[in-house]
Amino acid sequence: MDAKAIREQFPILNQEVNGSPLVYLDSAATSQKPLSVIRALDEYYKQDNSNVHRGVHTLGTRATDKYEGAREKVRKFINAKSTQEIIFTRGTTTSINTVAYSYARANLREGDEIVITQLEHHSNIIPWQQAAKATGATLKYLPLQQDGTIDLEDVKATITDRTKMVAIMHVSNVLGTINPIKEVTQIAHQHGAVMLVDGAQAVPHMKVDVQDLDCDFYAFSGHKMCGPTGIGVLYGKKEFLENMEPVEFGGEMIDFVDLYDSTWKELPWKFEGGTPIIAGAIGLGAAIDFLTEIGLDEIAKHETEVSDYAIEQLNTIEGLNIYGPEKRAGLVTFNLDGVHPHDTATILDAQGIAVRAGHHCAQPLMKWLEVTATARASFYLYNTEEDVDRLVAGLTKAKEYFGDVF
Amino acid sequence: MSFDNLDTLYRQVIMDHYKNPRNRGSLDDESLTVDMNNPTCGDRIQVHLQVEDGKVKDAKFEGEGCSISLSSASMMTQAIKGKTIEDALGMSKYFSGMMLGEKEADESNMDLGDIEALQGVSKFPARIKCATLAWKAMEKGFEENK
């Protein structure tokens, strides 16, 4: 894989920020978009824009074909059985909330348990806190190992016959931990629990096969995988989705409307109220084409190389602490002694280097790490070892800058 | 590289307050205590205010934060001590204006003291919330205890 050639496909990366060439190391927050995705959106709005599933006219047919074509691309990408199992949403958060509202509220009772981890993003914590409050179910946390991984023995001890729902992230957005989803799903199923996976940080970076994982729900976002913002996916096994009530009513999802009662369309449209996110889905389809052409295995390999190099180089900086396990996805979360991550990020930004600083929407994990905030550099297919060198030089400057004070 | 700009952000006096914060600590139970967090980063600050006869008799702060939020808290506690609530709130309003680039420190007829050094923050929009954190806490404290 030639990251430098790939980089040429991302016009935004070719610019100066604060007088230096941009080094973008915040793809875990949102990835940049290749020309093919930008063109797909441009073409759709210039040539095909129309509402779907209703116009008899030609543009309506074109828009519908493209929208449903994108659904098929998503199906194939994650190896779902049927496009009926692919629901377009606004993003991972909406996908998880759909399950927490529709499935969990209808199926959980007092005495039932929901199991999550302290690694989770707020979007995979709060929906379950709220579902627990609404149903009387109990929220339970899987313990974490010292390095931020989960141990299958703990999983076996925590998930019981009372557990009705298990919701876990595939890859941690802070520590890069890759969770053993297939194994946890097996344990959950042995106890009759339903398994939801937050795949926001996994799908952009590695091959995900929902049938192989055997999870019941899988949620992810388009914007972290070279697609536009505002589009995401909820995958759900048909047998679950069929028995679930819609969360939004009106627009695209209706079948027949009477004065006092109505019926819904079949799957997947039953969950797509309002005018769907047509352009977003088409953009996501183009992003999937882009990633597939390069190959997810190639992308994963490249990211591992860059992040291994980053860890090796960052370890040479005295007073820099890296959080997370040895085997990790392509991101590094760290803190520099005596320099608050906000200050680190500002000093890096002054050198054209974009990193994330803060709690990364994972305040319970920050509490576990006993820090209020951290800095994070996250890598994607367009990042190179030169980017890492710039980061290391930038951090050395930050240290010098603050070192004068202490 | 725009380190000149950085130098306006991290002025010597700011770094001094970060390194040697003034009025760090708590006050007795009688004091007014306000918690405030910066939702963008999770930083948390606690401001303690002791008010007597409409005047700020003492002010202290605790918490975790970046150089900008902690130095601002340190400078604020120094600046409002001995001021009437009205003056303290007026100062806070002026400070907000300064952060938004609407007001210049030297236009002020108040004694801003070290606070003037924070003017450079206005050039860093992402950091304005850090600088105003302690001030918002003070405002909230007086608002809730009117």
Give DSSP secondary structure letters for A35-47: HHHHHHHHHIIII
Residue whose tokens read 């799903």:
A185
Sequence-distant (≥ 6) Cβ neighbours of residue A43 within 8 angstroms: none
| Lowest mean per-residue pLDDT among A87-96, A297-306, B90-99 | B90-99
CB contact B13 to A (< 8 Å): no
| Active-site residue list of A | 361
Quick one: what percent of chain B has pLDDT higher than 70?
A: 97
Residue A20: the pLDDT is 97
Min CA distance, A103 vs chain B (Å)?
Answer: 30
Q: How far, CA to CA in Å, does A248 sit from each of A191, A254, A264, A274?
A: 31, 10, 11, 8
Query: How many residues appear in chain B?
Result: 146
Q: What is the DSSP string of A162-225?
A: TEEEEEEESB-TTT--B--HHHHHHHHHHTT-EEEEE-TTTTTTS---HHHH--SEEEEESGGG
What backbone phi and psi angles, to 5 degrees, belong to A356? -100, 140
A56: pLDDT strictly greater than 90: no
Min CA distance, B124 vs chain A (Å)?
Answer: 8
User: B69 to chain A: which residues are within 8 Å by CB?
Assistant: 342
What is the β-pairing status of strands B43-52 and B55-64?
A: antiparallel
The pTM (predicted TM-score) of the whole model is: 0.94
| Rounded Cα–Cα distance for residues B11 and B2 (Å) | 15
**Facing residue for A19 by CB, picked from B1, B18, B40:** B1
The answer to whether the CB atoms of B9 and A346 lie below 8 A apart is yes
Judged by DSSP in three states, A115 sits in: strand
CB contact B46 to A (< 8 Å): no
Residue A406: the pLDDT is 46
In B, minimum Cα distance to A341 occurs at B66
| Rounded Cα–Cα distance for residues A213 and A223 (Å) | 23
Structure tokens at A184: 């946890």
**pLDDT tens-place string over residues B55-74:** 999 999 999 889 999 999 99
**Facing residue for B15 by CB, picked from A346, A363, A405:** A405
| Average pLDDT estimate for A96-100 | 98
A51: pLDDT strictly greater than 60: yes
| DSSP code at position B123 | G
**pLDDT tens-place string over residues A183-227:** 999 999 999 999 999 999 999 999 999 999 999 999 999 999 999
| Average pLDDT estimate for A139-154 | 96
- Decide if A204 contacts A195 (C-beta within 8 A): no
| Rounded Cα–Cα distance for residues B23 and B77 (Å) | 7
Sequence-distant (≥ 6) Cβ neighbours of residue A190 within 8 angstroms: none
| Rounded Cα–Cα distance for residues A270 and A85 (Å) | 11
Query: How many residues appear in chain A?
Result: 406
Sequence-distant (≥ 6) Cβ neighbours of residue A361 within 8 angstroms: A121, A122, A123, A173
Structure tokens at A42: 């441009």
What backbone phi and psi angles, to 5 degrees, belong to A17? -125, 125
Tell whether omega for the bond before A268 is within 30 degrees of 0, i.e. cis: yes
Residue whose tokens read 């996908």:
A95
Q: How far, CA to CA in Å, does B82 sit from each of B23, B31, B49, B57, B94?
A: 14, 15, 11, 6, 18
Query: Which residue spans within B1-146 are E strands per DSSP?
Result: 32-38, 43-52, 55-64
Across all residues in chain A, what is the average pLDDT? 96
What's the pLDDT band for A11 if we cut at 50, 70, 90? very high
Rg (Cα) of chain B, in Å, rounded? 14
| Rounded Cα–Cα distance for residues A121 and A118 (Å) | 9
The answer to whether the CB atoms of B44 and A372 lie below 8 A apart is yes
In B, minimum Cα distance to A344 occurs at B66
Residue B2: the pLDDT is 58
Sequence-distant (≥ 6) Cβ neighbours of residue A332 within 8 angstroms: A176, A307, A310, A311, A314, A322, A324, A376, A377, A378
| Rounded Cα–Cα distance for residues B86 and A51 (Å) | 57
**Helices A278-294 and A296-314: crossing angle, nearest 10°?**
80
| Average pLDDT estimate for A103-109 | 98
| Rounded Cα–Cα distance for residues B95 and B103 (Å) | 8
ipTM over cut 0.90: no
Nearest to A197 by CA among A251, A244, A234: A234
Residue B111: the pLDDT is 75
Q: How far, CA to CA in Å, does A124 sit from each of A139, A361, B117?
A: 12, 10, 42
**pLDDT tens-place string over residues B1-41:** 457 778 888 888 998 999 899 999 999 877 899 999 887 77
**pLDDT tens-place string over residues A333-351:** 999 998 999 999 999 999 9
